[in-house]
Structure formats: structure tokens, C-alpha cells
Amino acid sequence: MVVLALAWCAALARPAAAAAGTLATDRPTLAAWWAPVHFQDVDTTGETALAGQSDYLAAYDFDGDLNGRNNWENTGRSPLAAHVYYSVTQTQSFSYLLYVYFHPRDWSDGILDNYQEDLTEHENDSEGVLLVVANDGTAYGTLKAALTVAHSDFYSYVPSGGDFTSGAESVDGTLPLKSDPHTDGHARPFTAQQANTHAAWAETAISQVASQYNSGDGVLYYPGDTAEVPSGANDRDVQYTLTDVFASGGMWDRRNTTSLFADPGRFAGDDSSNPYGAACGAGGVLGPAYGACDTDAANPPWAWDDHDDTPGAGYLATHPAELVADYFNWPGEPATPDTTYIWNPYLAG
């Protein structure tokens, strides 16, 4: 396993509990505490796969620049050290922890053996998960629910024994938890992504990638103090580091950087040729398809959208209190949702 050392942004020391409706824990430490264990299914089929590298988590500037239009070409040329982006927004009642999984490629092996895989590919890919944590006076709050992003669909989950129930949208399953060997072993949400197109779900027995986790290949990522590069397509212990979306010069600050974003709601990605291997749109080398390459097709979290729910595009990140109140019911839920944010830089402009 190749290790690229990075400083871990927050210690996981347990602070004293605070009064109900507050947390004694700062936002980076809270995000680190609940950061998911994450399974990434890996496809090694064909030239575009790069022996599995096309499915590794990465930073959007993994290649050392802020040019989104060369990420496809550089996927096999720069180390894909594991980074997960996060943002924290808060009301008095809840903390909303968003984690963003970025890949330089959304690609197809051309076999069409997965219902979500199609003939198109695109440069850059961004999916993720929102965790809902109650500010209940304990140090890290109580995990109440999760919503994952699978392209234009959101999937909702509740931990076993949780008191959140279906609202306007049906709960899709139980949120599994998995311990982390790199910290104190406390249980974390367990998420997963399919290979190729990287739709995200909770890692449940009925998820699209459960069989791959149990008996196939894939990379198991844990939050840690270093950004590691998988040793291969079946590395089951790789650490990722967290990067704050709101950091100075970070993703949110860069939304108007035209080399990285085609516009504030779309990562920049083109359909240029690839002098180093398979071009975007090749659709893999084994199947019957020679697919298309969509341009500027990946969205940052503030533009994620479920195609048939009521909340607006981007609400999972920018207005999570409103979205969660629509998706779920819970005991003691106020008639008017608590949408007064005590911390939400998305709304600060």
C-alpha cells in the first residue's frame, strides 16, 4: 500500500457533554467521528478500467492542478490518494454531515451487466451521503438517518432501533454500522458504491454491491490520518483523509474557477482524446457499444438532485433541514421544521 502522508485534521478525543440542543464538539471533530467506512466496488474489465484505478476515490486535484478537463487523461498517470470531502451545516436541533465521494471517471466496461450502467461516460464524478445527527447534549450527538446519492436518486436509511420513519419519501432500509480499526473502534455508518458509475448506497444485504463486498473485489476505505493509495483492486484496508468543502481555497471557494467548474453547478469535463489510453466515450473494449462522452456532466453537492422528490436541486447540501423534514417523520417533530441555521456557509453566498 502506497501512503501519502497528510495531517489528520481533528483528534477524536471525547469532550464533555453539553446541554441538550447543543454539542460540545467542534465541526471538524464531529465530521471525523461520524465519517463513514466505505466500500468501493472495483471493475478491472478492459482498458478504461486501468486495472481498477478508474474506481478509486481521489481528490479533484489529484493530478496537481485545478483543471477538471484533464482528469480523465491523468487518472492512470498520478497516484489516486484517497480523499473524501465533507461539509457540516447545523440548526439548533441537528447537525447535517455531508460526505462527497469524488472519482475522475464515470465509465462503462461495455458489458452492460448492471442496470445503472449505460453507454455514456463522462469526466469527473461526484456522489455521496448525508448523515443526520441529533444535537442531544452528548459529545457527538446521536445518528438518526442517512441519505445516499445514486445519480438522480436519493436513498434513505435509518439505523437499527432508530425513531425516524418514512415521511413524504419511504425509508429504503436499515443503515448498517461498521467499526473502524484505526481509531477507538466505535461504529460508523457503512456506505458503498458500485463500480463504473459510482452510485452510492448504504452497504446493506440488498445493495447493488453487497455480493462484491462479500465475495468479489473492491477497496474498503476507512477514515484516517493519511491519504493512502490502494495496493490493488482488492485492498480491504485503505485510509482516506477528510477535506472541508468550506476550507479556504476549497471546493466551495472554487465554484467559480472555470478550469474546474463549467459553471457553479457542474464540474468541467470534456470529450477530448486521450493520448495515454482509452478516451472518454470508448465504452470499454469488450462490449458491443462505442458510447458517447457527456461533457460537464458531474455535479458538486450543492447541485445534487433527486429527480422525483419535492425539495429543490442542491437541498441535500444547502437546505438539509428542509429536505430531511420532507423525507422523514420522527417523535417530537415540530409542526414547522427547524430551518434556522446556526451554521450554513452555503447560504452565506
pLDDT, residue 10, reads 37
User: 185-214 pLDDT, tens per residue?
Assistant: 999 999 999 999 999 999 987 677 888 899
CB 97 within 8 A of CB 34: yes
User: 317-330 pLDDT, tens per residue?
Assistant: 999 999 999 999 99
Parallel/antiparallel/unpaired status of strands 218-223 and 238-244: parallel
pLDDT, residue 286, reads 42
User: 138-196 pLDDT, tens per residue?
Assistant: 999 999 999 999 999 999 999 999 999 999 999 999 999 999 999 999 999 999 999 99
Q: In terms of C-beta density within 10 A (0-12 exposed, 13-18 middle, 19 or more buried), how is residue 18 classed?
A: middle
pLDDT, residue 115, reads 46
Q: Which residues contact 271 (CB under 8 A, 6 or more apart)?
A: 123, 279, 280, 281, 293, 294, 295
Residue that the C-alpha cell 493519511 belongs to: 226
* This prediction's pTM: 0.92
Residue 130 pLDDT exceeds 80: yes
CB 191 within 8 A of CB 233: no
Distance CA 151, CA 246 (A): 23
Residue 226 pLDDT exceeds 70: yes
Report residue 341's pLDDT band, with 50, 70 and 90 as the boundaries.
Answer: very high
Three-state SS across the chain? CEEEECCCCCCCCCCCCCCCCCCCCCHHHHHHHHCCEEEEECCCCCHHHHHHHHHCCCCCCCCCCCCHHHHHHHCCCCCCCCEEEEEEEEECCEEEEEEEEEEEEECCCCCCCCCCCCCCEEEEEEEEEEEEEECCCCCCCEEEEEEEEECCEEEEEEECCCCCEECCCCCCEEECEEECCCCCCCEEEEEEECCCCCCEEECCCCCCCHHHHHHCCEEEEEECCEEEECCCCCCCCEEEEEEECCCCCCCCHHHHCCCCEEECCEECCCCCCCCCCCCCCCCCCCCCCCCCEECCCCCCHHHCCCCCCCCCCCHHHHCHHHHHHHHEECCCCCCCCCCCEEECHHHHC
